Structure 1
């Protein structure tokens, strides 16, 4: 009988410890302050204008002072920060209106589907990313106007 009580006590204590660890982990996942600090360390010369977090807290999109954009992906204890270069992201809206798929050409580890809590939030982030978009005809015109000096060929 004593062994049964000890066993049940160990099971109950183990349950509460795992529950506390899970609550603590979920709290860290939504720590926007930590994300801002880590973005500031990664890009000290960039001023954050506004933020939008995905519904599950797995990513935070950043709009910067000069209308550039960035993304911070949550990796439990830290955020991976990426500054999105103009013309280096492809986005595709998904059917539900609150989400889109993004492909980051310079950082494929950031690719994914991103779901927001509202259609307005998703639309605003899409506008940031599209504002950060450089159409192919503009990059071609820029390449022809500014050829690479070493080779004499235009850049693509």
Structure 2
């Protein structure tokens, strides 16, 4: 009788271990919903870049990063690691998607990241598109005194 009890307990322990590992794997896949993890991972990849703001996609598989000096960055969950890169000015194309909540983005330096990125709201998508457009500021325009901002740059 004692051996049957030990076998049942062993099966229960194996079952709970299996469930726990499946939950941990699911949490890793959804890891970019956690902004703290996104900050740590991007900071590890680019320690000299100051993060101003983050915006995750609706499914949490990608995060767009607003950096200092009108730069932008990008993170994508690649199942076993996070791919991070700083978007160089002029090296991205952005088109609004048909849903109004998404952006179709072509990364010229990293075409394997191209895709349609859906956000929870249209406001979030427009915010990210502004970050990416802000990435296009020409070098001579950055040196203008504050009073000489053109009407196109004012909001």
Both structures adopt the same fold (TM-score exceeding 0.5)? yes
- Any gaps of 5 or more consecutive residues in structure 1? 1-5, 140-156
Which of 62, 65, 68 aligns to 1:65? It is 68
Segment of structure 1 superposing worse, 113-122 or 17-26: 17-26
Aligned-pair distance for 1:17?
5.0
Q: Does 1:23 align with 2:23?
A: yes
**2:76 and 2:117 mapped to 1: Cα distance?**
11
Task: From the superposition, tell whether residues 57 and 14 of structure 1 become closer, same or farther in structure 2 (CA, over 3 Å).
Answer: farther
Which of 123, 127, 131 aligns to 1:124? It is 127
**2:80 and 2:48 mapped to 1: Cα distance?**
24
Contact (CA 8 Å) 1:89, 1:133: kept in 2 or not? Answer: no
**1:14 and 1:118 mapped to 2: Cα distance?**
42
Aligned-pair distance for 1:123?
0.7
**1:101 and 1:18 mapped to 2: Cα distance?**
38
Aligned-pair distance for 1:92?
1.1
Runs ≥4 in structure 1, deviation > 4 angstroms? 12-19
Equivalent position SS for 2:69 = coil
Aligned-pair distance for 1:54?
0.6
- Paired residue for 1:83? 86
Aligned-pair distance for 1:15?
6.8
TM-score by length of structure 1 reads 0.71
- Paired residue for 2:110? 107
Contact (CA 8 Å) 1:93, 1:99: kept in 2 or not? Answer: yes
Q: How many residues of Structure 1 are paired with residues of Structure 2 in the alignment?
A: 130
Cα deviation 1:3-35 (Å, max 9, x = unaligned): xxx8xx96x887765543332223222333222
RMSD over equivalenced CA pairs, Å: 2.6
**1:98 and 1:21 mapped to 2: Cα distance?**
34
